[in-house]
Homo-oligomer: A and B are copies of this chain.
Amino acid sequence: MSKLQFAIIGAGNGGQSFTGHLGLLGFSARLWDVDPQRVEELRSAKKMVVSGAVAGQCDMPLVTGDIGEAIEGAHIIMVVIPAVYQRSTVKAMAPHLKDGQAIVLNPGATGGALEARATLDEAGCRADVLVAETDTLLYACRSPRPGEAIIGGVKEGLSVAALPGRDGRRVADLLKQAFPQYQPVSSVLITSLNNANAMMHPAPTILNAGRIECKEAFDYYFQGVTPALARVVETMDSERLAIGKALGVDVPSIHDFYRTSYSADGKNLHEQLQHVKAYEGIKGPTTLNTRYIFEDLPTGLVPLSALGNAMGVPTPAMNAVVELGNILHGRNYWTEGRSLEKLGLAGLSPQQIKAKIG
């Protein structure tokens, strides 16, 4: 195989970090963005300057707004955009895909790979394409301006899973030429059910809605997730674990997540959060028009609830949060978001769902 070629879909913080990091590693990465102005600014910048945990600068072989051009010849298509745009973006690339290409959603939130697969099928894509998702982004990073990426940290490991599950190892084998951090896991259910954002973002935001709309400043995790609100999160989390159990996947609890990722102990979630140093200075949203709702409902709680529904697992707490989010936003995330239809699972029995995901 010729040297690995990448397409980076999305020139935000993550996409620019990938482009710069790959350039420094000696790989070719074409960069695409939906925003013509962003594309123009990156072309003017000519180089990507990376600083932080990884440092240096590199040329950008191609920056484009033409998604067909971006993915042409790419072995790996790294999709690095908010999960709510994955569906439309995968649909746009569908006619241009070729056999053997791999799409990796960085990350897929809940149901990213399932939605992408269903979108390709719906678009009549016949190419033999690998579809994969991760559970998180490789980097802690930001881009102060186009052409500059500050990589605060590179994670030591993250999970990648493919659809069907047996293809996960192939994706990880491809990726490890550049990124040994990607560890294959057996099923997209593992990456999809490990959605801490869906637990931590919408419910506390909605239960602080009055305060947020009054623009009162508060520390999101320390003051926003009060003892009773933490119990709401814990109730939603128990629903998430029950979905995992029904699907035959052992999912770490939110308590495990904070113990493992942040070494935060405590006799309940509220106590644990008080010990998460990384949350110092993180303020609550200053508007209800926040991604904590408009991203984490359609690509988090809605597909989790849909999976629960398909498996016969009740999710009343998640459902309540979605209902109130719908009203607060005047939208219907049940249909806009990752429903069973969008996940390609409508009408399937629990057994068929397990077989399909593999």
Contacts and interface: CB of A to CB of B under 8 A. Distances in A.
Nearest to A231: B327
Interface in A290-326: 316-317, 319-321, 323-324
A223 B210 contact: yes
Chain A facing B: main interface SS: helix
Contacts of A324: 207, 232, 317, 320-321, 324
A278 interface: no
A328 interface: yes
B209 A228 contact: yes
Contacts of A206: 207
Interface string A184-228: 000000000000000000001011111101101010000111111
Given A317-B323, A323-B316, A323-B319, A209 B229 contact: yes
A274 interface: no
A101 B120 CA distance: 73
Contacts of A327: 231-232, 235, 317
A248 interface: no
A330 interface: yes
Which 4 pairs between the two chains have the least Cβ-Cβ distance? A208-B210, A213-B226, A320-B323, A320-B320
Given A210-B211, A211-B211, A232-B328, 13 more contacts: A204-B210, A208-B208, A209-B226, A209-B228, A210-B223, A210-B224, A210-B225, A213-B226, A214-B223, A214-B226, A228-B288, A228-B328, A320-B324
12 contacts: A207-B209, A210-B223, A213-B228, A213-B229, A214-B226, A228-B288, A229-B328, A316-B323, A319-B320, A319-B323, A320-B321, A324-B324
